[in-house]
């Protein structure tokens, strides 16, 4: 029996030894594969460079889109603000009051320069209703005629621009060209020029002032020409300056306001209130 078991044991040992060798070779191959399954440093760096380039391109596209959006928004704001301001000035001038006023207190135009730019002032009496409400005896009221003016001052946030304000006084006092409340209109003004004409024709000379203290400049001139120049207010200065230069970011608005002949005639034929004289009735002796 002992001799019969030896061949069987030998076969089992041989089989187990063969299996261990085979599994050992497989394990070695698996370890080598696991060691070769990672990324090298060069591959990682190349991936980072590619991703960075993609992110930079996306950022530039988004930045360009944002600048274009802001530029279009500013252009739209200026295109709306310019005509609105000129309409307001024309509406006030169309209601110029000449009745029961002295010729020294109807209209005044002053030639002014601020920061090297035209910043003329315009003052007169207008029949347009108040924009601001005035409190009198615990009530907020409006007046049928008011002192109106347009003034400019330097922009405290930008040394190259001016601010435009509308002056409004309740009723008319002894100083029609002074006082009142100031309403802010725009902070991107580059020029506000008022030219005065007292004659027609292509060769008519313009006057930069209309001083009612001078006898030849009392009353109302024939027409006014107003030039308003606004600059787009960029939200991103450096980027928008490269896209739209300064000369392309300014918009000019011109308005010619001619006073009607009836208004000019009213200055020459001012009504004078008198007490009528009533003659007694005649009695017929027949």
pLDDT given for residue 1 in this prediction? 43
pLDDT given for residue 143 in this prediction? 77
Measured between its terminal Cα atoms, the distance across the chain in Å is: 190
pLDDT given for residue 31 in this prediction? 54
| Token pair in block for residue 229 | 């120049």
| Burial of 231 from C-beta contacts in 10 A (0-12 / 13-18 / 19+) | buried
pLDDT given for residue 204 in this prediction? 84
| Domains contained in the chain, number | 1
Q: Which domain holds residue 257?
A: 65-268
In a domain, 35, yes or no: no
Q: What is the pTM of this model?
A: 0.65
In a domain, 89, yes or no: yes
How far apart (Å, rounded) are the C-alpha atoms in residues 127 and 25? 107
In a domain, 226, yes or no: yes
Quick one: three-class SS letters along the chain?
A: CHHHHHHHHHHHHHHHHHHHHHHHHHHHHHHHHHHCCCCCHHHHHHHHHHHHHHHHHHHHHHHHHHHHHHHHHHHHHHHHHHHHHHHHHHHHHHCECCCCCCHHHCEEEECCEECCEEECEEEEEECCCCCCCEECCCCEECCCCEEEEEEEEECCCCCCCEEEEEEEEEECCCCCCCCCEEEEEEEEEEEEEEEEECCCCCCCCCECCECCCCHHHCCCCCEEEEEEEEECCCCCHHHHHHHCCHHHCEEEEEEEEECCHHHHHHHHCCCCCCCCCCCCCCCCCC
How far apart (Å, rounded) are the C-alpha atoms in residues 286 and 278? 24
pLDDT given for residue 39 in this prediction? 74
Nearest Cα to 170, choosing from 148, 192, 149?
A: 148
In a domain, 159, yes or no: yes
Residue numbers in the chain where pLDDT is lower than 50: 1-5, 9, 13, 17, 25-26, 235-236, 238-239, 241
pLDDT given for residue 34 in this prediction? 52
In a domain, 152, yes or no: yes
In a domain, 227, yes or no: yes
In a domain, 21, yes or no: no
| Token pair in block for residue 166 | 């509308």
Nearest Cα to 196, choosing from 176, 214, 217?
A: 217
In a domain, 214, yes or no: yes
Tell me whether strands 134-135 and 113-114 are parallel, antiparallel or unpaired.
unpaired
How far apart (Å, rounded) are the C-alpha atoms in residues 117 and 115? 6
């Amino acid at each position: 029996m002992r001799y019969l078991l030896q061949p069987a044991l030998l076969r089992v040992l041989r089989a187990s030894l063969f299996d261990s060798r085979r599994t050992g070779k497989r394990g070695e191959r698996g370890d080598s594969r696991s060691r070769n399954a990672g990324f090298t440093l060069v591959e990682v760096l190349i991936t980072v460079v590619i991703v960075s380039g993609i992110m930079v391109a996306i950022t530039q596209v988004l930045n360009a889109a944002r600048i274009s959006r802001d530029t279009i928004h500013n252009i739209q704001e200026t295109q709306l603000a310019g005509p609105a301001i000129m309409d307001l000035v024309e509406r006030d001038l169309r209601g110029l009051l000449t009745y029961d006023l002295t010729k020294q207190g109807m209209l005044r135009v002053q030639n002014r320069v601020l920061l090297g730019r035209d910043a003329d002032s315009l003052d007169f009496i207008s029949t347009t209703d108040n924009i601001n409400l005035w409190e009198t005896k615990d009530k907020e009221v409006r007046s049928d005629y008011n002192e109106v003016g347009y003034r400019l001052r330097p922009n405290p946030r930008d040394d190259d621009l001016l601010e435009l304000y509308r002056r409004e006084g309740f009723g008319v006092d002894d100083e029609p060209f002074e006082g009142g409340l100031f309403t802010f209109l725009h902070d991107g003004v580059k020029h506000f020029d008022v030219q005065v004409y007292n004659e027609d024709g292509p060769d008519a000379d313009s006057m930069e002032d209309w001083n009612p203290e001078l006898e030849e400049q009392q009353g109302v001139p024939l027409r006014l020409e107003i030039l308003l120049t606004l600059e787009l207010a960029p939200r991103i200065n450096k980027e928008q300056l490269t896209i739209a230069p300064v000369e392309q970011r300014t918009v000019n608005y011109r308005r010619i306001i001619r006073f009607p002949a009836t208004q000019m005639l009213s200055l020459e034929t001012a009504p004078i209130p008198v007490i009528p004289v009533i003659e007694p009735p005649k009695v017929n002796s027949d």
